Amino acid sequence: MRLLLAAVVVLPLLGAGAALLPAPPGLRGRSPEQAVLRHGVTVTGAVLAATAVLALGFDHDRPGTMQAETDIGWIPALGVRIHLGTDGVSLPLLVLTALLTFLCALYSYHRPPEGPRPQAFVALVLLLEAGTLATFAVLDLMLFFLAFETVLIPMYFLIARWGGAGRERAAWRFVLYTLLGSVVMLLGLLLVGLGAEGGPTFDMTALAEDGGRGLTHTTQLLAALAIGIGLAVKTPMWPLHSWLPDAHTAAPTVGSVLLAGVLLKMGTYGFVRIVLPVVPDGIHTLAPYLAAFAVTGIIYGSLACLALSRSGAGGDLKRLIAYSSVGHMGFVLLGVATLTRTGVNGALFANIAHGLITGLLFFLVGAVKDRTGTTDLDRLALGGGERGGGAALYGRAPRLGGLLAFGAVASLGLPGLAGFWGEMLALLGAYHPADGLSRPAYLVFMALAALGTLLTAAYLLVVVRRVCMGTPHAPGAAPAPGTALPDVRGHEFAAWIPLVVLTVLAGLWPAILLGLTGPAVQNLLPGVSR
**How confident is the model over 428-476, as pLDDT tens digits?**
999 989 888 888 999 999 999 999 999 999 999 988 888 887 665 444 4
pLDDT computed for residue 238 by the predictor: 85
List, in order, residues 6 or more apart from 14 with CB less than 8 Å away: none
pLDDT in tens, 18-50: 888 876 654 555 666 778 888 889 999 999 999
Residues in the chain: 530
Lowest mean pLDDT among 136-140, 154-158, 380-384: 380-384
pLDDT in tens, 326-378: 999 999 999 999 999 999 999 999 999 999 999 999 999 988 888 888 888 88
- pLDDT confidence tier of residue 390, bands split at 50, 70 and 90: very low
Strands, E assignment, 30-177:
67-75, 80-86
- pLDDT confidence tier of residue 304, bands split at 50, 70 and 90: very high
Lowest mean pLDDT among 143-147, 255-259, 307-311, 319-323: 307-311
- pLDDT confidence tier of residue 92, bands split at 50, 70 and 90: very high
Mean pLDDT score across all residues of the chain: 86
Q: Which residues of 235-269 are buried (b: 16+ CB within 10 A; e: fewer)?
A: bbbbebbebbbbbbbbbbbbbbbbbbbbbbbbbbb
List, in order, residues 6 or more apart from 294 with CB less than 8 Å away: 237, 330, 331, 332, 333, 334, 337, 445, 449
Q: Is 59 left (phi over 0), alpha (psi -120 to 50) or beta?
A: beta
Q: Which residues of 351-360 are buried (b: 16+ CB within 10 A; e: fewer)?
A: bbbbbbbbbb
pLDDT computed for residue 333 by the predictor: 93
| Percentage of the chain exceeding pLDDT 90 | 44
pLDDT computed for residue 474 by the predictor: 40
pLDDT computed for residue 30 by the predictor: 62
- Cβ atoms of 5 and 85 within 8 Å: the answer is yes
pTM of the model: 0.91
pLDDT computed for residue 29 by the predictor: 55
pLDDT computed for residue 165 by the predictor: 78
Lowest mean pLDDT among 174-178, 306-310, 386-390: 386-390
DSSP for 84-114, written as a single string: EEE-TTTHHHHHHHHHHHHHHHHHHHHSPPS
Q: Where are the alpha helices (DSSP H) in 271-340?
A: 276-278, 280-309, 317-337
- Cβ atoms of 256 and 248 within 8 Å: the answer is yes
Q: Is 21 left (phi over 0), alpha (psi -120 to 50) or beta?
A: beta
pLDDT in tens, 204-238: 888 888 887 878 889 899 999 999 999 998 888 88
* C-alpha to C-alpha distance for 282 and 220, rounded to whole angstroms: 5
Sign of CA dihedral 409, 264, 128, 98: negative
HEC string for 322-352:
HHHHHHHHHHHHHHHHCCCHHHHHHHHHHHH
